[in-house]
Structure 1
Amino acid sequence: MAKKNTRNTKGKIISAAWKLFYDQGYDDTTVDEIVEESGTSKGSFYHYFDGKDALLSSLSFLFDEKYEELKETLQEDDSAIDQLIYLNQELFLMIENSISVDLLARLFSSQLITRGDRHLLDQDRTYYKLLRKILQEGQQKGELRRDLSINEIIKTYAMLERGLMYDWCLCNGDYSLAQYAKRVLPMMLAVYKDCDA
């Protein structure tokens, strides 16, 4: 029970922070505003985060909250590739509608220079667990190639998604991330289909 309350408090702070970052910009958001918006306390804030900058690496937490919601809506009859495309579309739409290009770019730059944990690569994230489940089932059903390991497919798929987000940041969000991914992802994932299926 205490673990759930811990996650709820931390989650409230993260959700409030990213909402404020999107609404008024990162630089114009204060810790006091985050505390007020989250309905928590300054003590709770500093229990989880050293300061506002530490929140930049928490975006993966927000992504995983979205994946927790989405895993309940996956259609078991859909192929593994269709499930991956669905998850990607929903996440990229969330990014377009609630996370600014500037904040996403800051996340990538913070992950490049951090000496500690790189949250985007944390294999215990909901993201990686969900990918593993989908891909294992896809291989078991004979939809996906078996000459590649699940770990190889996960690594390249995650790189592909990060690459799409990174390019969107480089282009300053000049195009729809979700629409572009909808066009290119099926082509890129086709390489994992079992040719005999």
Structure 2
Amino acid sequence: MAKKNQKKTKSKIVSAAWKLFYEQGYEDTTIEEIIEESGTSKGSFYHYFEGKDALLGSLAYMMDEKYEELEPTISEDADCYEVLLYLNRELLTMIEESINVELLTRLYSTQLTTHGERPLLDHGRTYYKLLKKIISRGREKKELRTDMSVSEMVRYYAMCERALLYEWCLRKGEYSLSEEAERKFPMMIGSLK
């Protein structure tokens, strides 16, 4: 039970931080405001995060929460290629509606320059586990190609998704991310079939 409460506390901090970052901007959001918005304590905040910059990497875990929310909605019988498109559409819609493009840009830049932990590449995340499960099932059902390993296909999917996000950041969010993905992502991952 304690582990579940810890995850809930961390999740509350992350959700509050990203809400405030979106509304006020990263620079204009203080740790005190995050603590107040999350209804947690200063001790809890510093238990999970060294400071505000450490929250940038938490976007990966926010994405995982979205996948955890979506997983129960996926039917075992659903076409796996269509499930991959669904997951991408839902995630990118969530990002477009709740993540400031400047913040996403900052996250990507820190992932490129950091020498330590890089949460976007952590294969222990729900994101990678769910993709592996769906792609494995797709291969078993002969809906997805079998001449590439599951790991290669997961990596390719993640690379395509990051390409959409990176381009959106480069263009400073000048177009709808979800609409662009709706048009381009099927072409990008079509080779998985």
Q: What TM-score does the superposition give when structure 1 sets the normalisation length?
A: 0.96
Describe how 1:28-43 pairs up with structure 2 within 5 A.
28-43=28-43
Describe how 1:82-161 pairs up with structure 2 within 5 A.
82-161=82-161
8 Å CA contact 2:22, 2:99 repeated in 1: yes
**1:169 Cα deviation from its structure 2 partner:** 0.3
**1:78 Cα deviation from its structure 2 partner:** 2.2
Write the distance in 2 (CA, Å) between the matches of 1:23 and 1:77: 40
8 Å CA contact 2:160, 2:189 repeated in 1: no
Gaps of at least 5 residues in structure 1 are: none
Correspondence 1:11 to 2:8: no
What code does the residue aligned with 2:73 have?
A: T
Aligned to 2:189: 189
**1:116 Cα deviation from its structure 2 partner:** 1.2
Question: What is the alpha-carbon root mean square deviation over aligned residues?
Answer: 0.8
Describe how 1:167-186 pairs up with structure 2 within 5 A.
167-186=167-186
Deviations 1:124-170 (A, max 9, x none): 10000000000000000011111100010011110110110000000
Aligned to 2:74: 74
How many residue pairs get matched? 193
Write the distance in 1 (CA, Å) between the matches of 2:173 and 2:96: 8
Q: What's the % identity of the aligned pairs?
A: 62
What code does the residue aligned with 1:66 have?
A: K
What code does the residue aligned with 2:49 have?
A: F
Write the distance in 2 (CA, Å) between the matches of 1:163 and 1:40: 36
What code does the residue aligned with 1:88 have?
A: N
Gaps of at least 5 residues in structure 2 are: none
**1:190 Cα deviation from its structure 2 partner:** 1.8
| Superposition misfits of 4+ residues, deviation over 3 angstroms | none
**1:77 Cα deviation from its structure 2 partner:** 2.9
What code does the residue aligned with 1:127 have?
A: Y
Q: What TM-score does the superposition give when structure 2 sets the normalisation length?
A: 0.98
Write the distance in 1 (CA, Å) between the matches of 2:169 and 2:74: 28
